[in-house]
Amino acid sequence: MRKRFLLFLITLSLVLISFFRCTPKQEQEVLSADNILISYNVEGNDKPALVFVHGWCCDKNYWKYQVAHFSKDYKVVTIDLAGHGKSGLGRKTWSMEAFGKDVLAVLEKINIEQAILIGHSMGGAVIIEAAKQMPTRIIGLVGVDTYHNIDSKSSIEEIENFLKPFKNNFKEATNNFVRRMFTPDADSVLVNQIADDMSSASPEVGIGAIQEYFNFDHVSALKDLKIPIVCINSDKWPTDVEAGRQYTMSFELKLMPGIGHFVMIEQPDKFNKLLTETVNGFSR
pLDDT, tens digit, 9 for 90 and up, residues 135-183: 999 999 999 999 999 998 899 999 999 999 999 999 999 999 999 999 9
Q: Does domain 26-152+217-283 have CATH number 3.40.50.1820?
A: yes
Sign, CA dihedral 45-279-80-64, equals negative
Q: What is the pTM of this model?
A: 0.90
The domain locations on the chain are 26-152+217-283
pLDDT, tens digit, 9 for 90 and up, residues 60-106: 999 999 999 999 999 999 999 999 999 999 999 999 999 999 999 99
The DSSP-derived string for 221-280 is: HHTT----EEEEEESSS---HHHHHHHSS-EEEEEETT--S-HHHHSHHHHHHHHHHHHH
pLDDT, tens digit, 9 for 90 and up, residues 207-231: 999 999 999 999 999 998 999 999 9
